[in-house]
Structure 1
Amino acid sequence: MKTLLYSLLLFTAQLLRAQTAISEQVISNLPELEITEGINLHMISPEPIQYVDLSTAQLTGDLPVPNIARIKMTDNLISDKDKKKQFTPFFSGDTVGIITVVGQSFIAQYKAVYRNADNLNTVTNIHIQPEAMQPIEFDKMTFSNRELRKFALDIIQKKADKKPVRTENSLNLGMQLNNVYVMGDYIFLDMTFKNISNLSYDLEALKFSIEDKKIHKTTNNQSIEMTPVFQLNAQKHFRKNFRNIYVFKKFTYPNSKVMMIRLIEEQLSGRTIKMKVNYSDILKADTF
């Protein structure tokens, strides 16, 4: 079994060698995780998990949410060759398998070690720590959510030292495009929403789309919905002011079209405000 696990680990290392800036790992150097029958181990990642590999059939798991991998020992595991033959039971300290977690910018590997059910100190959840992460290099400039969050926080800490790019006001509401920034293949929209009334605002949706600048009666309006790859705050309610950063992968559109941004309140209210952003506003994006 150990020879098989070592071969699998070497294969994984060879597959990732061209994409990573790290030296290959060996099983003896991997950090250990204790695992027990009937107890789930939750592995919490600082960024969305892209892939999880469990090297043996003694381990099973799933991704209940993007940032958490749930791992456990397989229940009533029976060999396919002999339905009556079960795997040899483990003894405390035996290696159950290798757990590999791949995030947007890292790979982390652990050795799962069996502990019997009498061990009351079995860990039920861990946070993947920086020292366990090995960075993955990508050919294209791709940022993880953690990096995008850092960039967005840098932007939101900036003071508004110049006139907003665009401003719209309607129904005692204000929508303001403070600035546009670009970093690599990403576009950051710094936006502020203002509520002048005393009635708080319950946000149902903020929609982005590319639409025709001029709509002719003889033609249908072509609208392409755009979804941010990241937003700093997921807030749905504000009383007076709300500022947020929305991040998109690089996009282009002709002068005959505009980006339309619509702020929509929950049903029965009708307080909706929209803003048109010309492509020339995007082309004037700052760097940071």
Structure 2
Amino acid sequence: MPGLLSAGELGRERLEALLAAAAGYRAGMGRRHPDAVVALAFYADSLRTRVGFDVAAARLGARTTTVHAERQGPAMWAPERLEDAVRSIGPWCDALCLRHPEASASRRAAAVSAAPVINCGNGDDEHPTQAVVDLFALQTLTGRLDGLRVAVVGDLHAMRSAHSLVLALAAFEDVFVRAIAPAGLELPAAYAGEVRLEATTELRVDDVDVIYVAGLPAETRTGVLSREQQARYRITPEVAHATVLCPLPRVDEIDPAVDALPQAAYFEQSALGLYARMAVLDAVLSG
């Protein structure tokens, strides 16, 4: 696979191949790339994605090198350009995992990189590797992807994991997505793909298979949300009747009391993410 920039580029055949590979790694397959080097270029904070790809590379037998921040010294009036950094480290590595606060970053990097680029989150645009994690969790936990009914809740204008998930779900048949967001924070049409979608400002999750909590920060493009406004979209035991997923971290979007319910699956989703990331790395390192 020649890198991964957008979930919309994958298509059903490639997604199914990635999910099958993830299942293989979960069953014990490993160490396929003992001579590979993976660059982890994380220009924005990360926990699960950075550590997840670091561990995934190690499980595959590869080594990693990490870029922690933009290069800038006292004699530099501005940080080093992303393109210059990528041109420098690309020839040394077999894959480049990039997280960056700018939406254009992954495509700019891919245009000049000697190594394939894996988009690990670019601003408020996309997070395609998280979409692979999410699909693997959905398939593992529900037994299917076709015919799923999914409620996606949060700031859907800015949450990149929601954007990539909806784009990926569009590759499957008869999928229904209810996009639940406060007014002004709706899912942009560019990410809807061909999925059957219903948009609403009401927290209606009683008729879905999965509740995907994308996150709802206090500060949004429409202003600061009050605690009362945020509480309208909080997942509590009273409404958590379906499988509950979340890309994490959660702040207070999910009541901690939900953790004790059998339908709380976000930490299992996180654990399954290792195998999904191994599958993505394997596909890219294998060309």
When normalised by structure 2's length, the TM-score is: 0.25
When normalised by structure 1's length, the TM-score is: 0.25
Richer in strand (by share): 1
Q: Who wins on radius of gyration, i.e. which is larger?
A: 1
User: With CA pairs under 8 Å and 6+ residues apart, which has the higher RCO, 1 or 2?
Assistant: 2
Richer in helix (by share): 2
